[in-house]
Every structure is written in structure tokens, then in C-alpha cells.
Amino acid sequence: MKKRLATIIIAFCISFISMVALSLFSMERFTMFSNYSNDVDHSSRVVISIRSAEVSLRDMGLTERGYMITKDTMYLRYLNNTIDSINKAIATIKELTAYNHEQQKNLALLRGSVALRIAAARDNIAYVDSSQQSTRSKFYDDSRELMIECSRRLRDMRLAENKLLEEKFQSEKIYQKLTNSTLKYLLVIFCLVTLFLFIMMVKELRSRMLYQEELQAKVIDLKRSHNELKEIAYAASHDLQEPLRKIQVFSDMLLYQKNGNEEERQATLGRINTAAKRMQTLITDLMNLTSLTNTDEPKKPVDLNSLIQTILVETHDIIQSKEATVDTQLLPIIDGYETQIAILFRALLDNSLKFRREGVKPVISISCETINGHELGDINPNLQHKKFHRITFSDNGIGFDNKFMDKIFKIFQRLHTQESEYEGKGIGLAICQRVMANHEGYLIAHGEPHMGAHFKLFFPME
């Protein structure tokens, strides 16, 4: 049990460590995914800002040409808005690429080109306002070349950022694949360890439950043994005293009998002899009962069918003399002590033959069923769900009142007086009770006056 408990503790530690590792790894992976996602979003914002600058640069060229053709001041407002958009986009790009030195270098060149492009556009507008000629100014040509240069620098920056974005996507994809595999393996390990731990705990719980049931059964058996010892002590102090007192009284009578004749002396000696024989019989019965407490020999499979047939053959003459009928059904093979079970069956068969009704032929039935221990719930509630072989000895004899059920299993306790027609010393059923206790079984009796009795033997199947 200690070894299994140590295994459970180790398995629990492994399960706990796996759970902690899984949690920490999941948190770390979540953080990394979050960082990758932020990087991708950041690069996407850089690309969007670059595209915005490209669009604003093209719009500036369109408004410049529109003003040159129409000289509509509305184009000047558009031009100023476009210039503000370009400056805003460049400021955003500068902020977003602050960590990227290569992009910052490109951005510095772009800002110079954009400044020259804006200056050339303003000079071209001023030239258009002041000149009366229809020829194109040199500032327009310069602004076109500068726009091409700005567009090239923006394209280079966009391509570099797209390359960086693609690298981040590839890294995220590889990392995600590695994360999925790692999480899968950690989860499988955690589930296996947890399942193993659950199985071990269930086994430990079942083992403890079985141990508790066995302990309760041992306690019940201990109580029975304690009661038997009390009854034996009572028998030694009371039942054995009765023939001993008779021996003493008759010995005194014989000792002080001076004028008695030979016949009186012989009668007194006969009474002494009878009392001594009764005392010897009681002592022998107690020895037989106490000898059953020694169960050092191993249990062996016992074929109850063969055993009961042997007993019926041995008691054939008694059965015939009482004109009895014994009906036996198929009985199981159980693990037990064959000699003790033979004593048990002989005692129950003898009990049914002894306590027959006057003028009624004894009919004895021996049957067997496989049942749960519901009838044993009053003895031990844990027995209700265990499997038993219930062997029942039934007869049509004089029966007994169930209120005397406890008395019939006590040592030297009889429901009939010493002078009654029914022989017996009142120890047979006590021996039966002890035999059943040695087999971890139980014996229950039910009777009905002048109708018969039923003795039920419960042999555990496990």
C-alpha cells in the first residue's frame, strides 16, 4: 500500500509539473503570437502609410497640372491639402520605422526629395501666375523628375517593408507549427499522466474500500469470537459446575453413608458416573468448538455435491429409521476446509432429523442460489452488494419462534429442557456458526412453530 501511495504521489507531481509547464508554455506562446501579430500589424501600417504617401504624391502632380491648365484657385487648395497629407504620411512613417535604421536612411533621402518636389511645384505655380507665355517652365520638368525620384524611393521603402512583412509571416508560420506540435505533445503527456493517476487513485480507493470491508468483517468476526469466549467462560463457570456439584454431593453421600446397603451405594456410584460422563461430554464439546478456531491450513476447493452425498451415505441408516426424505439440488464448488464443512452439514442434517414433528415424516431440502447479500444488511451494510452462494437447509419439523433466534446459536443453550424428548447438548449450532465464521461466511436461521425451520449459509464468492 505504501509503494502504491508513493507511486500516486510521484504521478501527481509529474502531472502537476506537466500542467505548470503546459500553462507556462502556453502563456509564452501566446505572448510570442501576440508579438508576431503586433509586428505584422505594425508592418502593415507602415505599408499603408507608404501607399498613402504615394497616392498623395500623385495627387500633387494632378493638382499641379490642373492649375496650370485652368488656373482655378480650387486646385491650389487641393495642392496645399495634398502637401499636408504627404508631410503627415512621412511623419507617420518616421514614427513607425524608428527602430529600422535602413528605412530611416531611406526616409531621410525621401524627405529631401519631397521637399525639393514641393519647392519645385510652388516655383512652377508662381511661374504660371506671373508668366503670360504658354510655354512650359523648367520648374515643371524639375518637379516631374523629382516626383519620379520620390516615387522610386517610396517604392523601395514599400518593397523593403513587404519583404520584412513576408519574413515575419514565415517566422510566424514556423513558430505556429512548432507551437502546435509542442502543445500537442505536452497535452498528450498531461492526459496520459492524469489518466494513469486517476486509475491509480481508483485502484487505491477500491483497495482501501476492500480493506475497510475486510476490516469490518474482521471486527464482526472478532465480536463473534469474543461472544464465544464469554459463552465458553459462562459454560465453564455454570454448565460444568452442575455435574461437578453432583459428583461432590454423591461422593459425600457415599462417604458418609454408614448403614446403607450395597444397592444404594451402587446407585450413588451410578449417579456419580453419569455426572462425570456429562462433564466429560461438555468438556469434549468445548474442545471441539475451540479447536475450530485454528485455521492455519490453507483453503482448498471443496465439491459440496460430493461432500453431501458422502454424508448421506454415512447417515443412511438414521435417515431410513426416521423415514426421512432428503432432496438435494446442485451445489457449487467453494474454497474452504472440507472437514469443517462436513461437520457443518452433518450438524444441520442431524438438527433437521432430530427436531421432527410427531407423526410427520421428515422432509429435508438442500438448495443453492447465487445472490447479493441483501439479507445480511443488518449485520454489515457493505455486504449488500457482494455475491454469495446461499445454501439453504429447510425442513418440516417443529420449527421455532424467531424471537429465540439469538439463543439457538449460543453454547449449551437449548429451547427444550433436559428432560424433553429431543436429545442434544445445545452446542451444534454454535459449532455451525464458528465454521461459517472461519469461511468468512454467515449463518441465518428462520423458523415457524410447527411448520419447520430454514438455515441459510452464505459463502462469499470472492
Q: Are residues 159 and 285 both part of a single domain?
A: no
Mean pLDDT of 179-194: 77
Q: Are residues 73 and 179 both part of a single domain?
A: yes
Task: Evaluate whether residue 405 is within a structural domain.
Answer: yes
Residue 134 has pLDDT above 60, yes or no: no
Report the pLDDT value the prediction gives residue 100, as an integer from 0 to 100. 83
CA distance 279 to 248: 13
How many C-beta neighbours within 10 Å does residue 294 have?
A: 8
**Which residues are CB-neighbours of 18 under 8 A, at least 6 positions away?**
186, 189, 190, 193
Question: Could you tell me the CATH number of the domain that includes residue 51?
Answer: 1.20.120.1730
Closest to 216 measured CA to CA, from 337, 341, 377: 377
Query: Domain of 253?
Result: 240-291
Mean pLDDT check: name the lowest of 93-107, 145-159, 170-184.
170-184
Task: Evaluate whether residue 213 is within a structural domain.
Answer: no
Domain boundary among 257, 291, 325: 291
How many C-beta neighbours within 10 Å does residue 392 have?
A: 16
Whether 239 contacts 282, CB under 8 Å: yes
Q: State residue 41 phi and psi, 5-degree precision.
A: -60, -40
Instruction: Check residues 167 and 307 and name the one with the higher pLDDT.
Output: 307
What sign does the CA torsion over 33, 39, 45, 48 have?
negative
Q: Which residues pair with 366 in a beta bridge?
A: 328, 393
Residue 326 has pLDDT above 70, yes or no: yes
Task: Evaluate whether residue 225 is within a structural domain.
Answer: no
Mean pLDDT of 227-254: 64
Q: Are residues 158 and 142 both part of a single domain?
A: yes
3-state SS record for the chain: CHHHHHHHHHHHHHHHHHHHHHHHHHHHHHHHHHHHHHHHHHHHHHHHHHHHHHHHHHHHHHHHHHHHHHCCHHHHHHHHHHHHHHHHHHHHHHHHCCCCHHHHHHHHHHHHHHHHHHHHHHHHHHHHHHCCCCCCCHHHHHHHHHHHHHHHHHHHHHHHHHHHHHHHHHHHHHHHHHHHHHHHHHHHHHHHHHHHHHHHHHHHHHHHHHHHHHHHHHHHHHHHHHHHHHHHHHHHHHHCHHHHHHHHHHHHHHHHCCCCCHHHHHHHHHHHHHHHHHHHHHHHHHHHHHHCCCCCCCCEEEEHHHHHHHHHHHCHHHHHHCCCEEEECCCCEEEECHHHHHHHHHHHHHHHHHCCCCCCCCEEEEEEEEEECHHHCCCCHHHHHCEEEEEEEEECCCCCCHHHHHHHCCCCCCCCCCCCCCCCCCCHHHHHHHHHHHCCCEEEEEEECCCEEEEEEEEECC
Q: Are residues 388 and 264 both part of a single domain?
A: no
Closest to 393 measured CA to CA, from 440, 437, 341: 341
Question: Could you tell me the CATH number of the domain that includes residue 440?
Answer: 3.30.565.10
Task: Evaluate whether residue 57 is within a structural domain.
Answer: yes
Whether 439 contacts 459, CB under 8 Å: yes
Q: Are residues 129 and 272 both part of a single domain?
A: no
Report the pLDDT value the prediction gives residue 376, as an integer from 0 to 100. 84
How many C-beta neighbours within 10 Å does residue 195 have?
A: 12
Q: Are residues 59 and 188 both part of a single domain?
A: yes
Q: Are residues 195 and 321 both part of a single domain?
A: no
Instruction: Check residues 208 and 156 and name the one with the higher pLDDT.
Output: 156
pLDDT tens digits, one per residue of 384-395: 888 899 999 999
Percent of the chain at pLDDT exceeding 90: 10
pLDDT tens digits, one per residue of 197-218: 788 778 877 877 777 777 776 6
Q: What is the CA radius of gyration of the chain?
A: 54
Q: Are residues 402 and 427 both part of a single domain?
A: yes
Domain boundary among 157, 179, 204: 204
C-beta contacts of 373-377 below 8 A and 24+ residues apart: 373/458, 375/444, 375/456, 375/458, 376/442, 376/444, 376/458
Q: Are residues 188 and 334 both part of a single domain?
A: no
Task: Evaluate whether residue 85 is within a structural domain.
Answer: yes
Report the pLDDT value the prediction gives residue 266, as an integer from 0 to 100. 73
Whether 363 contacts 200, CB under 8 Å: no
Report the pLDDT value the prediction gives residue 225, as an integer from 0 to 100. 61
Instruction: Check residues 326 and 12 and name the one with the higher pLDDT.
Output: 326
Domain boundary among 291, 317, 350: 291
CA distance 152 to 144: 12
CA distance 453 to 399: 5
How many C-beta neighbours within 10 Å does residue 235 have?
A: 23
Tally of domains in the chain: 3
Task: Evaluate whether residue 47 is within a structural domain.
Answer: yes
328: its cell numbers? 438435494
Mean pLDDT of 161-187: 78
Per the prediction, the chain carries an average pLDDT of: 79
Task: Evaluate whether residue 321 is within a structural domain.
Answer: yes
Report the pLDDT value the prediction gives residue 420, as an integer from 0 to 100. 44
Residue 133 has pLDDT above 80, yes or no: no
Closest to 157 measured CA to CA, from 77, 93, 103: 103
Report the pLDDT value the prediction gives residue 224, as an integer from 0 to 100. 62
Residue 422: pLDDT band with limits 50, 70, 90: very low
Q: Are residues 159 and 256 both part of a single domain?
A: no
Amino acid identity, position 220: I
Residue 383: pLDDT band with limits 50, 70, 90: confident
Report the pLDDT value the prediction gives residue 308, as an integer from 0 to 100. 92
Q: Are residues 285 and 392 both part of a single domain?
A: no
CA distance 431 to 340: 9
431: its cell numbers? 459449532
pLDDT tens digits, one per residue of 16-73: 777 777 677 677 766 777 777 777 788 888 888 888 888 888 888 888 888 888 888 8
Task: Evaluate whether residue 224 is within a structural domain.
Answer: no
At residue 149's C-alpha, the angle toward residues 145 and 152, to 5°, is 140
CA distance 144 to 196: 76
Report the pLDDT value the prediction gives residue 288, as an integer from 0 to 100. 61
Amino acid identity, position 9: I
Q: Are residues 11 and 83 both part of a single domain?
A: yes
